[in-house]
């Protein structure tokens, strides 16, 4: 029983990692343990597993995002001195929600039936897993462009590469993601 609960939660690891990475300013990544934040989030979900399993797929994803936001905000707060800024936390939650919507928009149009919502959730998890399998430079370029909204020039400056090199990373990364998603959908 315990193994099946762990396996169920492990499905969300890459999804949460992606959302956390997208929301954290790239300049802070070296100072924040994103895998620790994701692990803490999964641990908190495990503690409330009975409540979690009773929710719809959309509610589960929203709950995961809410816990992740709180854990990210706590970690960022530790890095910064000064008082707690509730507006910043709400901003982080809103940004995380928007990132999740962008991830879902990559996948499909709005669906309404419970089975379609579950399928959409599964595809979001599969996309996050496929993204994690890309080489790190391709991951970084795709995340910065598609979730952070950075231009090619900004990405090139940040990564210390030429625009042509970044364009190549983006092209190869998208091609590999499409191939993997097509393989998942048509085994």
What is the domain partition of the chain in residue ranges?
2-132, 134-187
pLDDT tens digits along 3-27:
555 666 777 888 888 888 877 777 7
pTM above 0.85, yes or no: no
Mean local confidence (pLDDT), 106-130: 65
CATH class of 134-187: mainly alpha
Task: Check residues 75 and 164 and name the one with the higher pLDDT.
Answer: 164
Residue 59's alpha-carbon distances to 52, 65, 66, 115, 118, in angstroms, are 8, 10, 10, 14, 11
Task: Check residues 119 and 78 and name the one with the higher pLDDT.
Answer: 78
Task: Check residues 93 and 59 and name the one with the higher pLDDT.
Answer: 59
CA 32/CA 19 separation, integer angstroms: 14
- Token reading at 136: 């790190």
| pLDDT exceeds 60 at position 58 | yes
Nearest to 68 by CA among 18, 21, 20: 20
pLDDT tens digits along 157-167:
888 999 999 99
Give me the long-range contacts of 125-131 (CB less than 8 A, separation at least 24): 125/11, 125/12, 125/14, 125/15, 126/181, 126/184, 127/103, 127/177, 127/181, 128/14, 128/15, 128/17, 128/18, 128/103, 129/14, 130/176, 130/177, 130/180, 130/181, 130/184, 131/14, 131/18, 131/177
Task: Check residues 172 and 88 and name the one with the higher pLDDT.
Answer: 172
Half-sphere exposure of 104 (CA within 13 A, CB side): 19
How many Å from the N-terminal Cα to the C-terminal Cα in the chain? 29
CA 91/CA 89 separation, integer angstroms: 5
- Other C-beta atoms closer than 10 Å to the C-beta of 170 total 18
């Amino acid at each position: 029983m315990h193994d099946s609960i762990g396996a169920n939660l492990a499905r969300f690891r890459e999804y949460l990692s992606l959302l956390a990475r997208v929301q954290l300013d790239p300049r802070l990544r070296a100072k924040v343990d994103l895998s620790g934040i994701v692990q803490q989030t999964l641990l908190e979900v495990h503690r409330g597993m009975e409540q979690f399993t009773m929710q719809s797929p959309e509610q589960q994803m929203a709950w995961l995002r809410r816990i992740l936001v709180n854990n990210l905000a706590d970690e960022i707060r530790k890095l910064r001195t000064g008082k707690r800024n509730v507006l910043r936390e709400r901003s982080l939650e809103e940004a995380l929600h928007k990132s999740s919507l962008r991830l879902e928009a990559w996948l499909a149009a709005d669906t309404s039936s419970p089975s379609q919502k579950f399928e959409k959730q599964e595809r979001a998890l599969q996309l996050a897993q496929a993204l994690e399998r890309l080489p790190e430079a391709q991951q970084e370029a795709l995340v910065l462009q598609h979730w952070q909204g950075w231009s090619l020039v900004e990405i090139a400056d940040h990564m210390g590469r030429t625009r042509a090199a970044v364009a190549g990373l983006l092209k190869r990364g998208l091609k590999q993601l499409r191939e993997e998603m097509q393989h998942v959908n048509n085994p």
